[in-house]
């Protein structure tokens, strides 16, 4: 009775000339090198951030400026400075390297007196801040995004610093 696959092996002269297939084991060194290459490919990937956004929920315009490489877009316009009208969304395009952004409201700074923020590069897009950011939220929805006040859950307050 046939119990194993061995019983189904072909026999004869034409099969005897073939050598059995040998599987080589991956050595520790080869395995280490393969893992190292994959790790470096993942860690060292330098890419720009995906498109980020400036959400203006307020009743006043906001000015967004990127001070180094990079740009912002609203409608068909793309440049270093974008004026985002009330209720509109602008696209933010950060560079591969670190940069700085400046944000101020267009009502002479009454809604938001203006601040600059450093932005981490190399795919992170995290906007660094020291806690309170007034009538805007940074890194809200995703790292690199900016959201203004103006919703029922986040009403605008008059900026008393100006």
Q: Which residue has the tokens 């009502």?
A: 107
Phi-psi region of 39 (alpha: psi -120 to 50; beta: other; left: phi over 0): alpha
Q: Using CA atoms, how far apart are residues 11 and 161, in angstroms rounded to an integer? A: 93
Q: Which has the minimum average pLDDT: 30-34, 50-54, 96-100, 112-116?
A: 30-34
Phi-psi region of 141 (alpha: psi -120 to 50; beta: other; left: phi over 0): left
Cα dihedral value 97, 98, 99, 100, nearest 10: 170
Q: Per residue in 82-94, pLDDT tens?
A: 999 999 999 999 8
pTM above 0.85, yes or no: no
Quote the mean pLDDT of the chain.
79
Residues 6+ apart with CB under 8 A from 103: 62, 63, 64, 65, 112, 114, 115, 116, 117, 136, 146
């Amino acid at each position: 009775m046939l119990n194993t696959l061995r019983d189904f092996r072909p026999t004869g002269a034409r099969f005897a000339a073939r050598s059995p297939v040998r599987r080589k084991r991956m050595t520790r060194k080869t395995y280490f090198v393969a893992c190292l290459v994959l790790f470096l490919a993942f860690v060292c990937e330098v890419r720009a951030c995906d498109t980020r956004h400036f959400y203006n929920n307020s009743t006043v315009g906001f000015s967004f400026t990127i001070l180094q490489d990079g740009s912002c877009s609203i409608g068909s316009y793309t440049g270093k400075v974008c004026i985002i009208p009330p209720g509109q969304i602008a696209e933010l395009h950060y560079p591969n390297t670190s940069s700085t952004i400046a944000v101020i409201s267009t009502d002479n700074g009454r809604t938001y007196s203006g601040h600059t923020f450093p932005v981490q590069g190399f795919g992170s897009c995290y906007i660094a801040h020291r806690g309170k950011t007034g009538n805007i939220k940074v890194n809200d929805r995703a790292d690199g995004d900016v959201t203004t006040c103006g919703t029922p859950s986040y009403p605008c307050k008059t900026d008393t610093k100006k």
